[in-house]
């Protein structure tokens, strides 16, 4: 019975900030596989600064108290641009014609 009560109360608690995904990304970035992929695709090796900054930022956030951490994470969530950009019908029509307008008159 006590395990049921514990699981129901723990579901309302926010998950802890975990830096393992940032560490894994940084570790993979320095791997020969990733470096050779970058060299093949772009002609330069990856210096992994973005991955290092993300990992370091996560470690710095872990030093903050809970309320401050929640404020920072909520502010970052609000700053994120939505994955879809919403357009008015006029904008959508313009972009549609720009991309696929050549298909309207296949005879030309």
Whether 9 maps to a domain, the answer reads: no
Task: Work out whether the CA dihedral 17, 78, 65, 12 comes out positive or negative.
Answer: negative
pLDDT-based confidence at 108, cuts 50/70/90?
Answer: low
pLDDT, position 79: 87
Domain count, the chain: 1
Longest dimension (CA), the chain: 75
The first and second tokens of residue 25, run together, are 């990304």
**Is 7 among the domain residues?**
no
105's tokens? 């008159």
On whether residue 36 sits in a domain, the answer given is: yes
pLDDT digits (tens, 9 = 90+) for 6-53: 444 444 455 578 999 999 999 999 999 999 999 999 999 999 999 999
- Taking residues 78-101, report their average pLDDT: 84
Distance in angstroms (rounded) separating the CA atoms of residues 44 and 37: 10
pLDDT number for residue 14: 59
In which domain, by residue range, is 20 found?
15-103
Average pLDDT in the 86-96 region? 86
DSSP H stretches of helix in the chain: 2-10, 20-29, 32-42, 49-61, 66-79, 89-100
Mean pLDDT for all residues in the chain: 84
In a domain, 2, yes or no: no
**Residue 79, in any domain of the structure:** yes
pLDDT on residue 106: 65
Residue 81 lies in a domain: yes
Residue 38 lies in a domain: yes
With pLDDT > 90 as the criterion, what percentage of the chain qualifies? 50
């Amino acid at each position: 019975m006590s395990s049921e009560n514990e699981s129901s109360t723990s579901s309302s608690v926010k998950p802890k900030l975990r830096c393992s995904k940032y560490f894994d990304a940084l570790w993979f970035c320095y791997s020969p596989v990733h470096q050779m992929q970058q060299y093949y695709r772009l002609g330069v090796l990856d210096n992994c600064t973005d991955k290092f900054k993300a990992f370091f930022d996560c470690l710095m956030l872990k030093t903050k108290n809970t309320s401050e951490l929640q404020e920072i994470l909520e502010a970052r969530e609000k700053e994120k641009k939505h994955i879809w950009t919403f357009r008015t019908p006029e904008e959508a029509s313009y972009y549609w014609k720009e991309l696929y307008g050549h298909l309207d008159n296949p005879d030309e």
